[in-house]
Amino acid sequence: MFKKVSFPILLLSAAAIAAQTVPLPVDPAPVLLDRMVVSDKLDKAREDIVPSLGATEFRIDRAQIDALALGAAAGFNEVLLHAPGVAQDSYGQVHVRGEHANLQYRINDVLLPEGLTGFGQELDTRFVDTVNVLTGALPAQYGYRTSGIVDIHTRSTTRDTGDLSLYGGSFGTLRASAEASGSIDRLAGYVTASVERSDLGVENPTAVRDAIHDHKDQFKTFGSFAYVIDDSSRVSLMLGLSFARFQIPNNPGQDPAFTLKGVPAFDSAALNENQREENHYAIVAYQKSFGEFNAQLSAFTRYSLVAFTPDPAGDLIFNGTASRVHRALVGNGLESDNSWALASAHTLRFGALVTSTNAGTRTTTSVFSTDANGNQTSTVPFDIADNQSKLGWLYGAYLQDEWNPLAGVTVNYGARADASLGYWHEGQLSPRLNFVYKATDALTLHAGYARYFTPPPLELVQTTTVAKFDGTTKASPSDTSSPVLSERSHYFDAGASYKVSSNFTTSIDGYYKRAKNLLDEGQFGTALIFSPFNYRRGEVYGVEFSGNYSHGGFTAYANVATSRAKAREIISGEFQFDPAELAYIASHDVHLDHDQLYTVSAGVSQKFGDTLVAADFLYGSGLRRGFANTGHLAEYHPVNLSLDRAFKFSAHRELHARLDVVNLFDQSYELRDGSGIGVGAPQFGSRRGLFGTLSWNF
């Protein structure tokens, strides 16, 4: 398969590289530049290189973020929960349109390379100006991670401003943060940093208010810098660093399952498991616009680390194993995106992407020996080392044409050629087609088809040598471990948006996906590190409704989504599953563990001069649970309130005092109960919390 796509990749890559090497006209004598005007013009040119072109797009701006619970202090995942069709899960995960993960993140229209995910939210809401969430049948420039494109545009670097903020409240939460932006001549920059501690670092595994052994410490910083070369070009640099340490919360009252020599008793409330996480990245981008041609070339590098430290005695007594896990990733890549307005009715877009990922795992597992029936035969543990590393490559290129054959009609057609060289060599040529019809000034219709190719994340592929653990307390029900394959799918999307009035807009969108080798992920161990596996086939479908109203200082929104995600027959990583469950899934269409029938988000806000009053809520009908995901958890609907008051001291200085109540009615709700396909420990949503923020803007 790889040989079949190599030629179009080389052809389209050559076109993209040639575009970057087109001789540029010689600039005339230097002139004084209006930096803000030039930056705005280049921003618009950059966005034209990678537009939505018929995909379903949902935009969240800074004012909407401020009206959400906790505002800029909220986790970035909590912001995404207020987009249509986004379901909440434990560990800060979100599921878009019935997919487990499969999200692609971009910052200022540049790809953010993939990293290892854990408990920590590495992206800081503070540096976000707007978030565009693209779903549906995506244009050809978007490949690999396609359930949603999360495109973040950062705060402005062209204004001289600053902010000092102190946030804290329930669960021992305290965060200090600062941000500043400014410019000197043609150089502009924005920097933010925060340090946080909390006693609710991970979801509580019990229904009580305060978790046991659940402290976290986290430091995050982000910087964005841009240098304007002339009125048609600039170079940008983005840097991000994140460090976090988490205690793994305990579930008291557990019964010991194994015997450890020298330790007659152990209280599960005294377990001491911990996880350390790091994520660092650097992205440099060069943008050039001349005539009808716009180009952007970017290079990026990333380092990620997740290290889990067990409780050596406690884990052996309760689980029969104690694994010290160290996973690290180093990724590098180049991306080229270009647009060329050939004529009034045609805009050509093309580009290429190449990434390398070097993923390594070091695991040392303490186990007990067992007999043929799996019964413990010794109380003295011994260690088994299992270390793996792999270098993988992704290649992709695309070519597409935006055609306007008639007034109000846009047709975008093209194709991607992708190849994945990891544990297996796979590839695919993927057509894309979108129609947009602006029927009236108020009504817009769209429909599209996309063929998707989704390789498994190399850094998450389970490479354990299963046979090493035969005859131990970590032995699997079988040694069958078929390789994880790339998912291949057909995706259909259609919808409409209608502007009822200048204040009120509505939209509806429906989608259907049919997949071969459908990818899912599960937690198969104590460490919060997910491992991918395949179902032989699957389908996902649903409908989303959205409404937005604004008048004066009042705003309101509501998103209602219904979705179904089902699959049949697990065909990779079989050793991780119970044989009875495997047999059932082989002959039945089962719900995916993250399948949620109904998801709702809504909110209102009112501005009274310098005072903002807001309320929002989420509703989920419950994720799946039980044997082969045949059941589902109870519904939940936490409500949040916010009050923000600005005290102005001068034109550029003001103090913001903010109060937030999260889960106003103190609802106790369960996100996971520890059962289901690939589901780890139980997790409950956060109980009622009171939080305050003081921010000095200057």
The domain limits of the chain are 2-697
With contact defined as beta carbons under 8 Å apart, do 550 and 575 qualify?
A: no
CA nearest neighbour of 338 among 58, 107, 50: 50
369-412 tens-digit pLDDT: 999 888 999 999 999 998 888 999 999 999 999 999 999 999 99
pLDDT value, residue 32: 41
Q: Indicate the pLDDT class of residue 528, thresholds 50, 70 and 90.
A: low
pLDDT value, residue 15: 38
CA nearest neighbour of 566 among 598, 537, 602, 604: 537
The answer to which of 209-218, 455-464, 562-571, 632-641 has the lowest mean pLDDT is: 455-464
How far apart are alpha carbons 43 and 188 in whole angstroms?
14
How far apart are alpha carbons 85 and 510 in whole angstroms?
11
With contact defined as beta carbons under 8 Å apart, do 257 and 319 qualify?
A: yes
Q: What is the mean pLDDT of residues 304-309?
A: 94
pLDDT value, residue 667: 96
With contact defined as beta carbons under 8 Å apart, do 247 and 217 qualify?
A: no
pLDDT value, residue 576: 86
For 219, the token pair is: 């430091």
Q: What is the mean pLDDT of residues 354-358?
A: 94
For 147, the token pair is: 């359930």
pLDDT value, residue 33: 45
pLDDT value, residue 410: 95
Q: Is the pLDDT of residue 266 over 70?
A: yes
CA nearest neighbour of 534 among 619, 436, 454: 454
Q: Indicate the pLDDT class of residue 495, thresholds 50, 70 and 90.
A: very high
Q: Is the pTM of this model over 0.85?
A: yes
How far apart are alpha carbons 449 and 55 in whole angstroms?
10
CA nearest neighbour of 591 among 634, 516, 541: 541
> Exposed, middle or buried by CB within 10 Å (0-12, 13-18, 19+), for 406?
exposed
* H/E segment holding residue 124: none
How far apart are alpha carbons 481 and 463 in whole angstroms?
9
User: Taking all residues of the chain, what is their mean pLDDT, rounded to a whole number?
Assistant: 90
Q: What is the mean pLDDT of residues 555-581?
A: 94
pLDDT value, residue 19: 39
Q: Is the pLDDT of residue 639 over 70?
A: yes
Q: Which of 50-59, 111-120, 152-161, 382-391 has the highest mean pLDDT?
A: 382-391
How far apart are alpha carbons 227 and 378 in whole angstroms?
66
Q: Is the pLDDT of residue 260 over 70?
A: yes
pLDDT value, residue 475: 86
> What is the CATH number assigned to the segment(s) 2-697?
2.40.170.20
Q: What is the mean pLDDT of residues 133-139?
A: 95
b vs e for 460-484, b when ≥16 Cβ sit within 10 Å of the residue's Cβ? bbbbbebeebeebbbbbeeeebeeb
Q: Is the pLDDT of residue 1 over 80?
A: no
pLDDT value, residue 122: 85
Q: Is the pLDDT of residue 200 over 50?
A: yes
459-481 tens-digit pLDDT: 776 666 778 888 999 888 877 88
Q: Assign residue 462 a region: left if phi > 0, alpha if psi is -120 to 50, beta otherwise? A: beta
Q: Indicate the pLDDT class of residue 179, thresholds 50, 70 and 90.
A: very high
Q: Is the pLDDT of residue 8 over 60?
A: no
Q: Is the pLDDT of residue 10 over 80?
A: no
pLDDT value, residue 135: 95
pLDDT value, residue 90: 86
Q: Which residues contact 461 (CB under 8 A, 6 or more apart)?
A: 359, 390, 422, 423, 484, 531, 532
> Exposed, middle or buried by CB within 10 Å (0-12, 13-18, 19+), for 434?
buried
DSSP letters, 382-398, are EEEEEEEEEEEEEEEEE
Q: What is the mean pLDDT of residues 241-267?
A: 94
What letter would DSSP give residue 664?
A: T
Q: What is the mean pLDDT of residues 80-105?
A: 92
16-62 tens-digit pLDDT: 433 343 333 334 333 344 545 666 777 777 777 888 888 999 999 99
Q: What is the mean pLDDT of residues 668-681?
A: 90
pLDDT value, residue 463: 61
Q: Indicate the pLDDT class of residue 526, thresholds 50, 70 and 90.
A: low
